[in-house]
Every structure is written in C-alpha cells, then in structure tokens.
C-alpha cells in the first residue's frame, strides 16, 4: 500500500558569528601591471561561491567585465584575515570589504585621472577599464596606463578596506538580545512524499522552498545552494 503525506518546516537563521563574537573581513584590490584587477582575500571558497561573488562585486564597482578580475583566495600568507567560511557570513562580510576597497580604488582612479585630463570627476567617464573625458571619449587611458603614471607620482592604484559589524551577547537567562546577529534569513519548505508501507520506500514527489534571502548577488549560486541543501 502507498500513502502520501506532506511535511512543512520553517526556520529563522542568523548569519555571521553573532552573540557578541568579533566578526570582520579585510580585502585588498589593486590594478596589476597587465591592467587586470586583483582582489586579495583570505576567504576560502568551499562551494558556496564567494569567488564568484567578490569577482562580480569588484567588476561592477570598477566598471570592468568579470573576466578582467583575478582573485587570490584563501592564502593567508598573501592576504589579511577574512574570518572563517562558516556561519553564512562570507558573501556579506568579505563581499562588503571588497566593495569598500573597490570603491576606494575607484576614487583614486578618478582622482589621478582628473589630474591627467585636467578635469573634475563629473567630466570623466569609465568603460571596460578605460577612463576618458566625456566630451572626448577617444582620448582615453587604460587602468594600466593610468597606474604607470600614478607610480611616477609616487603612489599606486591599490586600496584596502575592512568590514566589521558588532553584535550583542544574548541574555543568559532569556536568550534574547537587541542585536544578537547582524541579520536573519527566513526559509519555509514544504515537501510532498509517497511512502510504500509494505517496503518502507519513501519517494519525494515535490519540494517547495521559499527563502527570504534579501538581494541575491548571484541568483544561480543561490539556487544551487538551495537545491544542494535540499538534496
């Protein structure tokens, strides 16, 4: 005999270390000699997709294609701390550190380009790793060419940034707190199953997952995480 049943579960999951533990990430971004963008982060990618995420973030901020971005990932000899790959934290913490470092680097690019073009920032445009005056887009400098000029001025096109958010320790009696975690993810899952009561074999018929994740940096990665967790 076969019988069908339906199961439903809902969770609220706090991400980051939380509960008052220090939680931060540091990232560095620079222009290489070949003009590519190099990200340095100690974050480890164990399948959750942080490599893809930080590449996307830097590419978007610095207005280049993802193919123009390289990443040194997980080598603590060449990078500074990004914390552990756990607690659903790397996209949020390291992603924000990369975003801040990229924004700082973009500011330096605009600053030195304005000196080279004798223009202010609002008169400059950027497209695929080249910066130019909006009224003369054919007269442009690549990031690499600008980096060489910046080096002659005694500076470089590098930036480093950290991202830190504090949380509160929960009340030891109630387990409650004002800000025990930096944020929460809410998920509800419904599963339809069929059970053969003679053999004990269970067949999953359908799975419905509703995840309130906020803004998905890479929807395909998110879908893969949900499917992988379900399987």
pLDDT at 110: 95
> Does residue 23 contact residue 165 with C-beta atoms inside 8 Å?
yes
Domain-terminating residue out of 164, 186, 212: 164
45/107 same-domain check: yes
Return d(Cα 43, Cα 54) in angstroms, integer.
Answer: 10
For residue 86, the 8-state DSSP code is -
Domain residues for the domain of 191 are 2-15+168-221
> Which one, of 112, 150, 148, lies nearest residue 131 by Cα?
112
202/146 same-domain check: no
Higher model confidence: residue 21 or residue 202? 202
Please, what is the average pLDDT of the chain? 92
39-53: pLDDT as tens digits: 999 998 888 889 999
- pTM equals 0.88
88-144: pLDDT as tens digits: 888 999 999 999 999 999 999 999 999 999 888 788 999 999 999 999 889 999 999
Q: Is 191 left (phi over 0), alpha (psi -120 to 50) or beta?
A: beta
Q: Report how far Cα 221 is from the mean position of its chain's Cα atoms.
A: 12
CATH number of the domain enclosing 85: 3.30.365.10
73/38 same-domain check: yes
62/112 same-domain check: yes
97/145 same-domain check: yes
> Does residue 191 contact residue 210 with C-beta atoms inside 8 Å?
no
41/142 same-domain check: yes
């Amino acid at each position: 005999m076969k019988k069908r049943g339906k199961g439903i579960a809902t969770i609220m999951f706090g991400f980051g270390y939380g509960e008052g533990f220090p939680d931060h990430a540091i990232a560095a971004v620079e222009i290489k000699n070949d003009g590519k963008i190099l990200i340095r982060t100690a974050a480890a990618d164990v399948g959750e997709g942080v490599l893809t995420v930080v590449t996307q973030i830097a590419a978007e901020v610095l207005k280049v294609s993802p193919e123009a971005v390289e990443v040194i990932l997980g080598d603590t000899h060449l990078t500074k701390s990004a914390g552990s790959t756990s607690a659903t934290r790397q996209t949020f913490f390291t992603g924000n550190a990369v975003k801040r470092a990229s924004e700082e680097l973009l500011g330096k690019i605009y600053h030195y380009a304005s000196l080279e073009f004798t223009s202010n920032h609002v008169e400059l445009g950027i497209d695929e790793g080249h910066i130019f005056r909006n009224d003369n887009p054919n007269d442009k400098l690549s990031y690499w060419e600008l980096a060489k000029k910046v080096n002659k001025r005694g500076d470089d096109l590098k930036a480093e940034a950290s991202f830190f958010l504090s949380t509160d320790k929960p009340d030891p009696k109630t387990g409650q707190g004002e800000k025990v975690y930096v944020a929460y993810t809410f998920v509800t899952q419904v599963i339809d199953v069929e059970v053969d009561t003679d053999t004990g074999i269970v067949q999953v018929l359908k799975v419905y997952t509703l995840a309130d994740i906020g803004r998905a940096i890479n929807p395909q990665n998110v879908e893969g995480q949900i499917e992988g967790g379900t399987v």
